Amino acid sequence: MKKQVKCLDVSKEVRIFAVRASEKIMAKRLTKKDRKQLYERTSKYLEDISKLIFAGAVLSSIMKEDISMWWLIGCGTSVSLLALYGAYKAYLMSRE
C-alpha cells in the first residue's frame, strides 16, 4: 500500500528563502587559515605516501618473486616521485 505524501502549501518567498539558506551552507568557503592547514596536511600526507611507496618497491625487489627487479623499482620510483611532486606543490600552495 502506497503512502500518500501531503504537500504543505507554503508561499513562494518561504521556498526561495529555504533554497538560498541551503545554498549558503553548502557553499561555505574555507578561510585562508583553514586552506593553509589543509594544504600543509596534504603535503605531509603525500610525502609519507611517497616514502612508503618507495620503501615498498625496494623491499619487494628484495623478495624472490617472478617480477623484474628493474621494472618494479622503476615504477615504484616514478610513482613515488609523482607523489613527492604533489607534496611539493601542496607545500607551495600552503605558503601563498
The pLDDT tens digits of the residues spanning 77-96 come to: 999 999 999 999 999 998 87
Q: Which of 85, 83, 86, 57 is nearest to 72 (CA)?
A: 57
pLDDT above 60 for 32? yes
Q: Decide: pTM greater than 0.85.
A: no
Count how many domains the chain has: 1
pLDDT, one tens digit per residue, over 60-74 is 888 877 888 888 889
Residue at 35 is within a domain:
yes
Residue at 73 is within a domain:
yes
- Which three cell numbers mark 40? 600543509
Residue 45 is part of which domain span?
30-94
Helix, strand, coil shares of the chain as percentages rounded to 5? 75, 0, 25
Residue at 22 is within a domain:
no
Residue at 16 is within a domain:
no
